[in-house]
Structure 1
Amino acid sequence: MPVPQQRDPDLTRERLTAWLSARLPGATDLRTRVEVPEGLGFSNETLLVDAVWEENGTARARRLVVRVAPTRYQVLPGSRLAEEYRVLSALRDTDVPVPGVLGFEPDPGPLGAAFLAMDRVSGWVPPDLPSYHRPGGPLAALAGPERAAVWWAGVEVLHRVHRLDVTELGLDGLRDSPHGPGGLTRQLDHYETHLDHFGGGTPVTADALRLLRDGLPPEPAAPSLLWGDARLGNLLLDGVAPAAVLDWEMVFLGPGEADLAWYLYFDRHLSEGVGVPRLPGLPGRAETVHRYEELSGRSVAHHLDWFEVFAGFRFALIAARVGRLLVEHGLVADAADVPLARNAERLLARTLTALS
């Protein structure tokens, strides 16, 4: 269920045109068209911008996505657009495909909140809503080998991200991020500290947190850059090849298993969690773990159950926050009416039961 966005299109266009003028030196006769979608998910507000201008007698054009920090529907405890800007900028010259970035604006003056402007990349995305496992969707329309290719593309992206040198990228500062601190212990501390933001937690999330505290795996000597929200729904595709890795608002530094487990767990949510069979042709958990181990050159299976509980714990809190927001803003009468939160909690409970 997307949340509504309320914004004056003309005023938004006027202010964005002025902002772009300062960042496109040499541009004359700059004109913009701004599309304000009615609803695009639960996180940052998204604006679609087409800019055309003249530069030294040559016609120029640029298609942009502008992500505005949330002011009403804030799912996570704080905006991370500034960090996303640094990550996207750092990844520009790597083999991880990301949108080019035009700039980050911390001043809330122009649009009412900080915002990030990036290039709009063409492609398609396996949807979360309705689940990409359901018949009739773009992933279901592919033949079995093509579906597998899409899945493996996501696993390859994980490997590409995780093998990068954080220090060489200039991203060591993420270790001390106030909204996504590095390391597993500090991640658990972060979510526990912000339990009230997510609705206070439930007996199920409390059980998960105890298990996570009691069974904490060893931290890697050299933590990897983690995508954070690593799922097919954040992978823009050109055919079956990755075109852009999107949505870095859960980025942190830690072991690659955290991303791999989130990738597996979110797929499980979109199948078992919503009562839909997985699409034939998509590789399963064992195959996926084996492929990731081949790519990374190390074993990850030993603690993967822990990391899947870690994924389920965070996802259940985020889903509960979404339900709470929908109630607070009058979009539903009760959080119990939000399938996302209900399904996330039930899946976490089943995951814990299987480990007991």
Structure 2
Amino acid sequence: MEMAPESWTELVDLEKLRDWMDMQGLESGPLEDVTSLAGGTQNILLRFKRGGRAFVLRRPPHRPHMNGSETMRREARVLGALKGSDVPHPGLIAACPTDDVLGAAFYLMEPVEGFNATVGLPPLHAGDPKIRYGMGLAIADGAAALGRVDYVAAGLSDLGKVENYLERQVKRWRSQLESYAEYEGWAGPGDIPGVDKVADWLEANRPGSFKPGIIHGDYHLANVMYRFDGPELAAIVDWELTTIGDPLLDLGWLMATWPDGEGRGSTGSVGVQPWDGFPTAQELVARYAEGSARDLSAIEWYAVLACYKLGIILEGTNARAAAGKAPKETGDMLHASTIGLFRRALGWIGG
């Protein structure tokens, strides 16, 4: 989304940004060709040039749902730690961890030359099922590469709480669902299929151990960018939920959100078209196994957990909509997504 030049200053004080870049020794001269890549309630992305070099600035929205500055600090820290790894990611240029320059923490990264498959496929990818098959394998490769990173050696040992990570999951998200009762008008979880059965199954079948690593936290087709010249990933993007935990949850998340044979997601929405040629979820797991030494014998547990967690997150918007704090159409759509995710989970557990 592009915005008119007069609206840029509503997003970012370009003069203050220029002064900060001067202090960091990041090129010289005016900020040119400024374009807004995102807006509204999303994180703010501005692409611009300075001294002939291209930059992308990322900062939280002016009214973030959570601590936007802390999110930016975490994202920048992880992107910096991934430098030199084989994980496709936007290159970190510099970060400002304080709020005193632009009103929130922010960072500058290298532009990603690529496209989002859920927005549309360019002719090369739209015209060749073999390319689309490779795109599926590439997203599995990206998850496996992230899971191979030694988070301790990368300086990220304090990014998340590893102890009892798996044991905490169901209780954490069950409590989240129960908290929605504070929204007047929310009908409750009664029409979410198998909400208790899925939780009980997760508790009863939880893996006994895991190998900690970096988690992206929201790993699916909309959060990767592909190269224009082939099926490979250009970058994994949107690292808002990154932490240290069990990286198999990223693979489970990919399975939970992977479209069916006609390109529809578990939510009923169309993910990517044309879809023919893309591998199945089972083929993604097999590809991940080729690049990982992790035990995948319980991978469906992670897929079910992903359905449970994501479904509860989406139901939060439905609850807010019932209380008049979000658009009703959005609440209805996301509630349908929650139902689709729980149905997919029940399919895995035989419910």
TM bucket normalised to smaller: 0.7 to 0.9
Q: Secondary structure at the match of 2:153?
A: helix
Displacement of 1:92 in angstroms is: 0.8
* TM-score normalised according to structure 2 size: 0.79
Pairing partner for 1:254 from 245, 250, 257: 245
| 1:332/1:255 CA distance change after superposition, 3 Å | closer
Displacement of 1:50 in angstroms is: 0.9
Task: Name the structure 2 match of 1:351.
Answer: 345
Displacement of 1:309 in angstroms is: 1.4
Distance in 1 separating the partners of 2:220 and 2:275? 16
Task: Name the structure 2 match of 1:143.
Answer: 128
Task: Name the structure 1 match of 2:43.
Answer: 45
Displacement of 1:170 in angstroms is: 1.1
Task: Name the structure 1 match of 2:84.
Answer: 93
Displacement of 1:162 in angstroms is: 1.0
Task: Name the structure 2 match of 1:183.
Answer: 165
Contact 1:32 1:50 in 2 (8 A): yes
Pairing partner for 1:159 from 138, 144, 161: 144
Residue 213 (structure 2) pairs with residue 224 (structure 1) = yes
- Once the two structures are superposed, what CA deviation does each residue of 1:144-198 show, in whole Å capped at 9, x if it has no partner? 1000011111111111111121211111112339xxx882223445444544776
| 1:82/1:329 CA distance change after superposition, 3 Å | farther
Distance in 1 separating the partners of 2:64 and 2:180? 12
Pairing partner for 1:291 from 287, 294, 298: 287
- Once the two structures are superposed, what CA deviation does each residue of 1:195-217 show, in whole Å capped at 9, x if it has no partner? 47767772444543333233221
- Once the two structures are superposed, what CA deviation does each residue of 1:109-132 show, in whole Å capped at 9, x if it has no partner? 4333322322211111111x6xx6
Contact 1:182 1:252 in 2 (8 A): no
- Once the two structures are superposed, what CA deviation does each residue of 1:197-241 show, in whole Å capped at 9, x if it has no partner? 767772444543333233221222x31222221122222111311
- Where does structure 1 lack aligned partners over 5 or more consecutive residues? 54-59
Distance in 2 separating the partners of 1:124 and 1:141? 12
Displacement of 1:77 in angstroms is: 9.8
Task: Name the structure 1 match of 2:55.
Answer: 63
Amino acid at match of 1:241: E
- Where does structure 2 lack aligned partners over 5 or more consecutive residues? 183-187
Distance in 1 separating the partners of 2:122 and 2:189? 34
Contact 2:161 2:244 in 1 (8 A): no
Displacement of 1:271 in angstroms is: 2.8
Residue 118 (structure 2) pairs with residue 118 (structure 1) = no
Contact 2:38 2:45 in 1 (8 A): no
* TM-score normalised according to structure 1 size: 0.78
Task: Name the structure 1 match of 2:185.
Answer: none
Contact 1:70 1:79 in 2 (8 A): no
Distance in 1 separating the partners of 2:180 and 2:137? 33
- Once the two structures are superposed, what CA deviation does each residue of 1:62-83 show, in whole Å capped at 9, x if it has no partner? 221x222245352799952211
Amino acid at match of 1:341: H
Q: Secondary structure at the match of 1:175?
A: coil
- Once the two structures are superposed, what CA deviation does each residue of 1:241-299 show, in whole Å capped at 9, x if it has no partner? 12112122222333332111111111138434316598211111222222222332454
Distance in 2 separating the partners of 1:15 and 1:327? 41
Distance in 2 separating the partners of 1:108 and 1:197? 31
Please give the residue correspondences for 1:192-341 in structure 2 after superposition, counting only pairs within 5 Å. 192=174, 194-195=176-177, 202-203=189-190, 204=192, 205-220=195-210, 222-238=211-227, 239=229, 240-268=231-259, 270-274=264-268, 276=270, 279-300=275-296, 302-323=297-318, 332-333=327-328, 336-337=331-332, 339-341=333-335
The more displaced of 276-285 and 251-260 is 276-285
Q: Secondary structure at the match of 1:316?
A: helix
| 1:49/1:295 CA distance change after superposition, 3 Å | closer
The more displaced of 277-286 and 90-99 is 277-286
- Once the two structures are superposed, what CA deviation does each residue of 1:304-338 show, in whole Å capped at 9, x if it has no partner? 2221111111211222234456777876246543x
Amino acid at match of 1:157: G
Distance in 1 separating the partners of 2:106 and 2:153? 26
| 1:254/1:333 CA distance change after superposition, 3 Å | closer
Q: Secondary structure at the match of 1:268?
A: coil
Contact 1:34 1:48 in 2 (8 A): yes
Task: Name the structure 1 match of 2:19.
Answer: 18
Displacement of 1:29 in angstroms is: 2.5
Root-mean-square deviation (Å): 3.6
Distance in 2 separating the partners of 1:310 and 1:324? 21
Distance in 1 separating the partners of 2:168 and 2:189? 21
Contact 1:199 1:321 in 2 (8 A): no
Displacement of 1:9 in angstroms is: 1.9
Contact 2:259 2:266 in 1 (8 A): yes
Aligned residues: 331
| 1:305/1:22 CA distance change after superposition, 3 Å | same
Amino acid at match of 1:342: A
Identity %: 24
